[in-house]
């Protein structure tokens, strides 16, 4: 089996990816952001371990109705379905446009002032816990 992605592989991947991630709820379909092109290459660059299972699944699904192919793979070849669905969803949620639509800035650096008195201290939320007193059993004598 050739381990290089062929045009047919990309076409099959786009079809299945659109079943998994369709245009709906104000979100674009996977193929609309070009999931089968550079994004797929990038995903496989980060995760070369996915390639074998992904290609096996895509080649088994070649020429079939994408929905039927996705359902069959999900039932009969978990590793292949896992690789295809992970590549599709990971690539999708790595895309900046998609992230903007779901309000995800990525794992960001969020500044804070460590010397500021926390809100739960200022508003007395924590005091009620302290006021109930110790809840531990001391070391027995």
Closer CB to another protein, 62 or 99, in the complex: 99
Question: Does residue 110 interact with another protein by CB under 8 A?
Answer: yes
Question: Does residue 1 interact with another protein by CB under 8 A?
Answer: no
Sign, CA dihedral 56-61-67-68, equals negative
Contact with another protein (CB under 8 A): which of 5, 14, 21, 33? 21
Contact with another protein (CB under 8 A): which of 34, 46, 97, 122? 46
Mapped onto helix, strand or coil, the DSSP state of residue 129 is helix
Contact with another protein (CB under 8 A): which of 5, 20, 33, 61? 20
Give the chain's length: 141
Q: How far is the CB of 137 from another protein (least distance, A)?
A: 4
Token digits for 73? 């793979």
Question: Does residue 55 interact with another protein by CB under 8 A?
Answer: no
CA 125 to chain centroid, in Å, comes to 36
Judge contact between 73 and 84, C-beta under 8 A: yes
Helices 7-20 and 66-76 sit at what angle, rounded to 10 degrees?
80
Residue keyed to tokens 């995800």:
104
Q: Which residues bind another protein (CB under 8 A)?
A: 19-22, 24-27, 42-43, 46-47, 49, 70-71, 74, 85-86, 89-90, 93-94, 96, 99, 102-104, 106-112, 114-115, 118-120, 125-126, 128-130, 132-140
């Amino acid at each position: 089996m050739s381990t290089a992605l062929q045009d047919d592989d990309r076409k099959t991947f786009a079809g299945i990816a659109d079943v998994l991630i369709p245009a709906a709820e104000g979100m674009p379909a996977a193929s609309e952001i070009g999931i089968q092109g550079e994004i797929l290459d990038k995903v496989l660059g980060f995760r070369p371990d996915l390639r074998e299972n992904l290609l096996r699944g895509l080649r088994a699904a070649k020429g079939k109705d994408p929905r039927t192919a996705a359902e069959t793979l999900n039932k009969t070849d978990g590793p292949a379905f896992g690789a295809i669905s992970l590549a599709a969803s990971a690539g999708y949620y790595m895309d900046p446009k998609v992230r903007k639509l779901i309000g995800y800035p990525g794992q960001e650096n969020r500044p804070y002032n460590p010397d500021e008195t926390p809100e739960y201290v200022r508003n007395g939320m924590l005091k009620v816990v302290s006021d109930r007193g110790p809840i531990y059993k001391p070391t027995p004598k």
